[in-house]
Amino acid sequence: MSTISYEEFKTACLEFLELSKKFGDSWKLRSDIQDKDGLCIHKVQHIKSKSLKELKNKTTCKIDRQLEEEEEEESSDPAEMETHNTTHFTTYDYHIVYSLSHSVPVLYFNAWHSSGQLLTLDDVWEGVDVTHREQILSNKWGSLTQTEHPLLGRPYFQLHPCNTAKLIAQVLPQPPCDAATLRTYLICWLSMFGPPVGLEIPLCYFAEQNTESGCVK
């Protein structure tokens, strides 16, 4: 079993943030945590999405149409490029938080359409890509669910941490002991849990580790 303490988690995150900065990645420390001791790092990613399934909320459309202005002058500016159909994109906001009960990192995320409307749990299950579909969906409620973000108190999607320690132990048999190995731990964990929900880790993160010395056991 490969677990880490909260202090170790914090170290791992801060090390990871340094790497992120170095590689021009956009991981950042979350600044709106009420709990002074709470730490959460997050990254936002935008992905082009297929045509927006028309918002199921019919009332939205009704109200919006009422508010639509009649003016047409705006649309005939020659210096503005015509964007024919508004290109739709989905925003994913990934959070790395510590799980006290499992003593491992947990991946939470939220996703919303370019309109601002949040995705539902069903949308998210639908969106899991082909490679990971079986793995996730065969165990839907146990793997990818929606629950309260431990530090923000709002509903976020979560990859359940119950198997984390076991999985990591298979890949990293040695428990982490210093900043570099803790960082490795986090990267290893992220590389397992990120991809099923659309978060890829560039190879440069892994290349970095090999140049650092591991701990002597």
Partner 1 sequence: MSAREGVAAGMDHSGREPTILQSVPFSSAVDAGFWHHFTQLKLDVLQLSEQAVPVMGSYTNTDTPGLPPRLYVEYDALERRKTASRWSCHATGTLINTNTIEEFRNRSKQDLLKGSATTLWEAITSGQALQDPSVLASFLMFTFADLKKYHFYYWFAFPAFTYPKAMHKKPPQSFTDALTQKEIESLLASYTSQEVDFNQGFFSITKSDEEFTVHPLRDYPKLRTAADSKSNQEVYLGISDPSTLPSNPGWTLRNLLTLVAIRWSKQWQSYKVVCLRVRTRNGVQDASHSLVVEVDLSEEPESLIPSEMPPCLGWEKNERGKMGPRMVNLSANMDPTRLAESAVDLNLKLMRWRVAPQLNLGVVQQTHCLLLGAGTLGCAVARCLMGWGVRHITLVDSAKVSYSNPVRQNLFTFSDCQSGGRHKAVAAAEALLQIFPKMNSKGVVLSIPMPGHTVGESLLNQVKEDVSTLEQLIDEHDAIFLLMDSRESRWLPTVIGAAKQKLVLTAALGFDSFLVMRHGIREVGTEVSLPSTTAIPRNSIPGKMLGCYFCNDVVAPGNVSSTHDRTLDQQCTVTRPGVSYLAAGHVTELLAAILQHPDKGLAEASVKEQGNVKEGVLGPVPHSLRGFLGRHQLLTPASTSFDQCSGCCREVLKAYMEEGFEFLLKVFNSTAYLEEVSGLSRLHHCVDDSQVWELSDEEDME
Nearer to partner 1, 64 or 134 (CB): 64
Among 36, 58, 83, 216, binds partner 1 (CB under 8 A): 83
DSSP annotation of 118 reads: B
Among 5, 53, 89, 135, binds partner 1 (CB under 8 A): 89
Question: Residues 17 to 56: which contact partner 1 by CB under 8 A?
Answer: 21-26, 28, 31-32, 44, 46, 48, 52
Q: Kindly state the helix (H) or strand (E) to which residue 108 belongs, with its residue range.
A: strand 104-113
What sign does the CA torsion over 75, 81, 86, 92 have?
Answer: negative
Q: Is there a catalytic annotation at residue 162? A: yes
- Report how far apart the first and last C-alpha atoms of the chain are (Å, whole number): 17
By CB under 8 A, residue 75 contacts partner 1: yes
User: Residue 149 in contact with residue 155, Cβ under 8 Å?
Assistant: yes
Q: 204-211 and 179-193 helices cross at what angle (nearest 10)?
A: 150
Residues identified as active-site? 162
Q: Which residues bind partner 1 (CB under 8 A)?
A: 21-26, 28, 31-32, 44, 46, 48, 52, 57, 60, 63-72, 74-75, 77-89, 91, 93, 110, 112, 114-118, 120, 140-142, 145-148, 152, 154-155, 202-204
